[in-house]
Each structure stands twice: as structure tokens, then as C-alpha cells.
């Protein structure tokens, strides 16, 4: 054991989550699941996540960067891999050499792809239907499809968009985006362009909005068993998705402190009564936010919730264990289950005013990922 802080990642949970999502999106027509494994599989390990997702029935993978696709290929994964945005042109020879599918929204990119030696590279046309992040205007869809058709560098494999508020089930903007997308699909079809894959749904889209499923869905967070937002918690729970990652450590030091003592940088916490403090060797350099103390963060020791006391430091934090017995080497669960207690990434996110995505992506490379 290299250090007393690590993450455990359950491939079985990711596999089961993908299976559950896939069976949930089955409809009158076949819907493919392409699992989003960018950002090192949302902190779970990109290759681990990819293998588990494929075992669970995913037929393709999505990444943000060419290098993330290269890492999958280096691990022997030969499933289709889509890079979700246009990339610097000097990355294109690498993308071509590794058989990655590419996202296109400008004709210059097709020229760059040809210059990079691309021949019949499967491309997906990205349309921006309102998120204002990346993608072509829907009005330009047909012109871009014509450019793809005319380019020897590319074949028109897919067309897609991305939803801004899919995790707010009643928000009218999803319908507006899908209306714009459908109008663009009609225009493409009328011009004779009907790519095999049509996709719009992230996790929340796939779970909440049947209309957004088209012929493929792109779930990310849900395959890791984390809810994309509070308004879809219930549906994530009904689907039986289970968190795949737990963040664990061992107590590295135990001490009794007297009432009136203060603790950690800034001495921001004062003990009201005598108590036992356990030091845990994990800190903000590992992805436990410094402000989790002020936000009321808790971890599990001996099957009970223990308050973080004092600001989280770079490599260590402290827990108030009251008068319960605790010893060096005891198991600490920062995210995960112990006994009948559970702390989730979503709980951290709620406390910190952020989203589960940021919590798991923030667990740093210094934390070893072990099979769990």
C-alpha cells in the first residue's frame, strides 16, 4: 500500500449502470449508448470506465481530447471513439492515425483533416441549438453536410447537439433546442443527408427526455452512478444506478484535545468539549476542497459520520470523533459507504454549491485508483 489515501473504482458498478441506462433507453427503434469517458472517465480512470461501459453494452465512447482517445487505443480498445469538439489542427494526424471519429462544425476543419491525411474519416456534425458553446448554426447544417459529402477526407456518420438544461425536466428550453434540432434534421433529410447516428442526450437527456434519444445517447455522469442534478435524483434512484467510486483513507494519528483548543490553519474551529481528533492523510491537493470544513463536510469512521474540524490542509484533514474509540489505521470513508451510512459526491456538491461532476473530476492524479 503506497499511501493511506486512495480511491476505489468498481468496474462492475459502471458496467451495471450502462446496462441499466441501455435498457431504459430501449424504444421502438434501436438506440446506441456511447459512454462519455473524457477527463479520465470523470476521475474514475478512462480505460477502466471505457472497458466497463463496453462490457455493459455501450457501442462507442466519447472523449474531449485526441490524447484521451489515443490512451484508449493504447490500451487496446478498438470501439468507435468520438472526439466531442474540433481540436487544434496539429492534433489531426494523430486522430487519423488512431482511427478516431471527429466532430466538425467549420469547413476549415474538413480542409485541415484532408491536409492531415484523413480519408473517409467518420465525422459528426455538431449543431449549436442554443447552448452557445460550440457547434455550427442550424441554418448552416445543409451547407456543412454538402461540404462533408464533397470532402474525400470525411464520411457523414452523425449529427448532434448538446442540451443546456436537460437536468431541469420542466425547463422549456430543452423543447426549444430539440425543435431547432428537428428542423435542421428535416432540412438535412430533404437535401438527402441522413447520417446513421443522430444524438442529443447527455445523462439527464437520456433519462428524462425520451424525445432526445434519437438513435444514440451520450451519457457521462450517470454511468458513474452519480445524479446529474437534484431534479433528476429520483429518476437516477429509480433506475438503480450505483456510485462507482469511493474515496478512502486510514487514520494516521489520534489525539485527545481539551475543550477550548483550536485547530488547523487560522484556528477557525474551537472545541466546546474534550474530544478525540483523528488526522486523515488526504487534503486539497488530492481533491478534498479546503472549504469542505466551512461547508459542514463529514466523513465516516467506525460506521458513523464525523465532522471535519478546521480547514482542510494540502495533505491532511482532521475529524472530530467525540469519545468513540478510534485508532491509527482505522478505515475512513470520505465518499462511499460504511455500515449503514453513505456520503456521496452529490452530498459534497450540495454542501459546496457545485455539481457532482466537479467533485469526481477534482480527485487528483495523486490519488491512486484501485479496483473496488
Ligand X SMILES: Cc1ncc(COP(=O)(O)O)c(C=O)c1O
Question: Residue 138 interacts with ligand X (CB under 6 A)?
Answer: no
Which residue intervals of the chain are DSSP H helices? Answer: 11-24, 38-42, 46-55, 66-74, 92-97, 107-115, 141-150, 172-190, 203-208, 233-239, 345-352, 356-361
Contact 164, 173 (CB under 8 A): yes
Binding mask 159-178 for ligand X (x = CB under 6 A): ---x----------------
What does the block give as the cell for 78?
A: 478498438
The one catalytic residue in 38, 109, 224, 357 is 38
Q: Which of 279, 309, 282 is nearest to 293 (CA)?
A: 309
Is 265 an active-site residue? yes
Residue 202 CB, shortest distance to ligand X, in Å, is 3
What letters, b where the CB count within 10 A reaches 16 and e where it falls short, cover 179-205? ebbbebbeebeeeebebebbbbbbbbb
Kindly report the CA angle at 168 between 165 and 171, in degrees rounded to 5? Answer: 75
What is the number of other CB atoms lying within 10 angstroms of the CB of residue 105?
A: 20
Binding mask 15-44 for ligand X (x = CB under 6 A): ---------------------x--------
- Which residues within the stretch 262-321 sit at the binding site for ligand X (CB under 6 A)? none
Say how many residues touch ligand X, by CB under 6 A. 11
Q: Which of 5, 22, 66, 84 binds ligand X (CB under 6 A)?
A: 84
Of all residues in the shown chain, the one whose CB is closest to ligand X is 220
Residue matched to cell numbers 443522430: 198
What letters, b where the CB count within 10 A reaches 16 and e where it falls short, cover 247-265? bbbbbbebeebeeeeebbe
Which C-beta is closer to ligand X: that of 63 or that of 292?
63
Q: Which of 184, 216, 221, 236 binds ligand X (CB under 6 A)?
A: 221
Residue 103 CB, shortest distance to ligand X, in Å, is 8
Contact 95, 112 (CB under 8 A): no
Residue 285 CB, shortest distance to ligand X, in Å, is 25
Which C-beta is closer to ligand X: that of 13 or that of 221?
221
Length of the chain as a residue count? 372
Which C-beta is closer to ligand X: that of 321 or that of 355?
355
Question: Residue 56 interacts with ligand X (CB under 6 A)?
Answer: no
Q: Which of 158, 220, 243, 289 binds ligand X (CB under 6 A)?
A: 220
Q: Which of 10, 11, 101, 203 binds ligand X (CB under 6 A)?
A: 203
Is 42 an active-site residue? no
Tell me the C-alpha distance between 304 and 211, whole Å.
Answer: 43
Residue 259 CB, shortest distance to ligand X, in Å, is 46
Contact 52, 18 (CB under 8 A): yes
Q: Which of 24, 151, 174, 202 binds ligand X (CB under 6 A)?
A: 202
Which C-beta is closer to ligand X: that of 217 or that of 292?
217
The β-bridge relationship of strands 5-9 and 368-371 is parallel
Contact region for ligand X (CB under 6 A) — 217-225, 266-274, 286-294, 347-355?
A: 217-225
Residue 93 CB, shortest distance to ligand X, in Å, is 24
Question: Residue 118 interacts with ligand X (CB under 6 A)?
Answer: no
Residue 34 CB, shortest distance to ligand X, in Å, is 9
The burial class, CB within 10 Å (0-12 / 13-18 / 19+), for 309 is buried
What letter does residue 139 receive in the DSSP assignment?
Answer: G
Strand partners, 277: 255, 320
The one catalytic residue in 126, 224, 265, 284 is 265
Task: Kindly list the residues in this chain that would bind ligand X in the complex (CB under 6 A).
Answer: 36, 84, 162, 202-203, 218-222, 228
Residues serving a catalytic function are 38, 265
Amino acid at each position: 500500500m503506497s499511501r493511506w489515501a486512495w480511491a476505489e473504482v468498481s468496474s462492475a458498478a459502471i458496467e451495471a449502470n450502462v446496462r441499466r441506462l441501455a435498457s431504459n433507453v430501449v424504444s421502438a427503434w434501436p438506440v446506441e449508448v456511447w459512454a462519455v469517458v473524457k477527463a479520465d472517465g470523470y476521475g474514475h480512470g478512462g480505460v477502466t470506465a471505457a472497458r466497463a461501459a463496453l462490457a455493459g453494452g455501450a457501442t462507442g465512447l466519447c472523449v474531449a481530447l485526441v490524447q484521451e482517445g489515443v490512451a484508449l487505443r493504447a490500451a487496446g480498445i478498438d470501439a468507435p471513439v468520438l472526439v466531442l469538439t474540433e481540436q487544434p489542427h496539429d492534433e489531426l494526424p494523430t486522430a487519423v492515425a488512431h482511427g478516431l471519429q471527429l466532430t466538425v462544425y467549420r469547413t476549415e476543419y474538413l480542409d485541415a483533416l484532408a491536409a492531415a491525411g484523413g480519408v473517409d474519416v467518420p465525422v459528426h456534425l455538431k449543431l449549436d441549438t442554443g447552448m452557445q458553446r460550440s457547434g455550427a448554426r442550424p441554418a448552416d447544417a445543409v451547407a456543412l453536410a454538402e461540404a462533408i459529402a464533397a470532402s474525400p477526407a470525411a464520411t457523414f456518420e452523425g449529427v448532434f447537439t448538446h442540451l443546456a438544461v436537460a437536468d431541469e425536466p420542466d425547463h422549456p428550453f430543452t423543447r426549444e433546442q430539440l425543435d431547432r434540432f428537428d428542423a435542421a434534421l428535416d432540412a438535412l433529410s430533404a437535401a438527402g443527408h441522413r447520417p446513421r447516428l443522430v444524438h442529443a442526450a447527455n445523462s439527464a437527456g437520456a433519462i428524462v427526455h425520451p424525445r432526445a434519444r434519437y438513435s444514440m445517447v451520450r451519457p457521462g455522469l450517470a454511468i458513474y452512478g452519480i445524479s446529474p442534478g437534484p431534479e433528476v435524483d429520483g429518476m437516477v434512484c429509480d433506475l438503480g444506478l450505483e456510485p462507482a467510486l469511493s474515496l478512502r483513507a486510514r487514520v494516521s494519528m489520534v489525539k485527545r484535545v481539551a475543550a477550548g483548543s483550536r485547530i488547523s490553519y487560522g484556528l477557525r474551529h474551537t472545541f466546546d468539549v474534550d474530544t478525540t481528533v483523528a488526522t486523515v492523510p488526504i487534503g486539497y491537493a488530492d481533491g478534498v476542497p479546503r472549504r469542505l470544513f466551512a461547508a459542514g463536510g463529514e466523513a465516516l469512521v467506525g460506521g458513523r459520520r464525523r465532522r471535519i474540524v478546521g480547514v482542510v490542509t494540502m495533505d491532511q484533514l482532521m475529524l472530530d470523533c467525540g469519545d468513540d474509540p478510534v485508532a491509527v489505521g482505522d478505515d475512513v470513508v470520505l465518499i462511499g459507504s460504511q455500515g449503514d451510512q453513505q456520503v456521496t459526491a452529490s452530498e459534497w456538491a450540495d454542501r459546496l454549491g457545485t455539481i457532482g461532476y466537479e467533485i469526481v473530476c477534482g480527485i487528483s492524479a495523486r490519488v491512486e485508483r484501485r479496483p473496488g
